[in-house]
Amino acid sequence: MADMTIPERIPINLVVNGERRALEVVPWTTLLDALRDRLELTGTKKGCDHGQCGACTVLIDGRRVNSCLTLAVMKDGAEITTIEGLAGDGALHPLQQAFIDHDAFQCGYCTPGQICSAAGLVAEGRARDADEIRELMSGNLCRCGAYPNIVAAIEQAMSRS
């Protein structure tokens, strides 16, 4: 293919963690790359860039999704919640506190995705026991193997909410 031109940037608006952010993106820019490289919100992690690990999980309009497979241009106008905006004003979200209490991470790299995913799981209201938490959190890989602690942390947060 001879065509080397970079497609035009398209202006979009995102409401990220409650704040309206205007930016111009080439259509190939994923929401993940827009968050990390353009908005400097590096709390959302890139672990595979193919929807295989869940480290990039954010909430779009309250639903958990893989931001690596989401084109930013398609989310014009959407409300995005990342790990940086999960709790307000320096406080910890109950899930964040529970993850610390239960040592539900080691290296910490999958953690923002785990916590955002868990926030989505709690909102969905479909997990009623540990097996259902395990199944519905299986889209978030943790290579440090903190799974039992992650389940315990989510159970703690669910029981207190």
- Near another protein in 115-144, by CB under 8 A: 115, 117, 120-121, 124, 126, 129, 131-144
Name which of 57 and 156 has its Cβ closer to another protein.
Answer: 57
**CB count, 10 Å around CB of 13?**
13
Contact call for residue 23 and another protein (CB under 8 A): no
Contact call for residue 11 and another protein (CB under 8 A): no
Give yes or no for a contact between 124 and 112, defined as CB atoms under 8 angstroms apart. Answer: no
Closest separation between CB of residue 132 and another protein, Å? 4
Among 16, 80, 81, 96, binds another protein (CB under 8 A): 96
Contact call for residue 158 and another protein (CB under 8 A): no
C-alpha distances in Å from residue 125, one per residue of 1, 119, 120, 121, 161: 49, 10, 9, 6, 12
CB burial of 114-128 (b: ≥16 within 10 Å; e: otherwise) equals: bbbbbbbbbeeeebe
Contact call for residue 10 and another protein (CB under 8 A): yes
Q: Could you give the count of Cα atoms lying within 13 Å of 102 in the half-sphere of its Cβ?
A: 21
Site for another protein in 51-90 (CB under 8 A): 51-55, 57, 63-66, 68-71, 73-74, 82-84, 87
Among 15, 79, 106, 155, binds another protein (CB under 8 A): 106
If you ran DSSP here, which 8-state letter would residue 121 be given?
H
